[in-house]
Amino acid sequence: MKMEGSFVVPAPRAEVWEKIRDAALMASCIPGCRKIEMLSPNRYRAEVVITVGPVKAQFNLVVEISKEEPPSRIVSITRGEEGSRASILSAENVVSLTEVDGGTEVRYQSEVALTGRLGKFGLGMMKKKTEALGNEFAAAFRAKIS
């Protein structure tokens, strides 16, 4: 499932890049992220809780930054599972920053694979949920930078 979107942050690209590389700040913007732990400068462990319809799932995720092109692009891989292995998630993520009038455009793309009980939900419901999560993240990120 492809997830993508963009939003504009009223800040210079160098500042937005700095914030994107701040794991604690990013965790505070991700809906349902309960904690984050730095394993190495490019590897993190996160605990994220999401609810889709009647199903609530807690994921233990590892995010690894695989490529950086400061201050314009960052590529990462996310893998993890729900505590009971009822659902398994993997995603390849790209975040790009572009200077625009009034600030920086943040564009994100993720190719997400989700198997197990959450994977059984219809594609339409999952896409709607990921879109809502993206909008929540964008609002929280903008608020942190403003």
Using a 10 angstrom Cβ sphere, with 0-12 exposed, 13-18 middle and 19 or more buried, the burial of residue 118 is buried
Residues 6+ apart with CB under 8 A from 32: 48, 49, 50, 51, 133
Q: How far apart are CA 40 and CA 29, in angstroms?
A: 21
Q: pLDDT tens digits for 37-95?
A: 999 999 999 999 988 777 788 999 999 999 999 999 999 999 999 877 788 999 999 99
Residue type, 106: V
Q: Which residue has the tokens 């904690």?
A: 35
Domain that holds residue 73: 2-145
Q: How many structural domains does the chain have?
A: 1
Q: Which pLDDT band holds residue 122 (cuts at 50, 70, 90)?
A: low
Measured between its terminal Cα atoms, the distance across the chain in Å is: 32
CA 115 from centroid of its chain's CA atoms: 18
Residue count (the chain): 146
Has this prediction a pTM greater than 0.75?
yes
Q: What CATH number is associated with residue 116?
A: 3.30.530.20
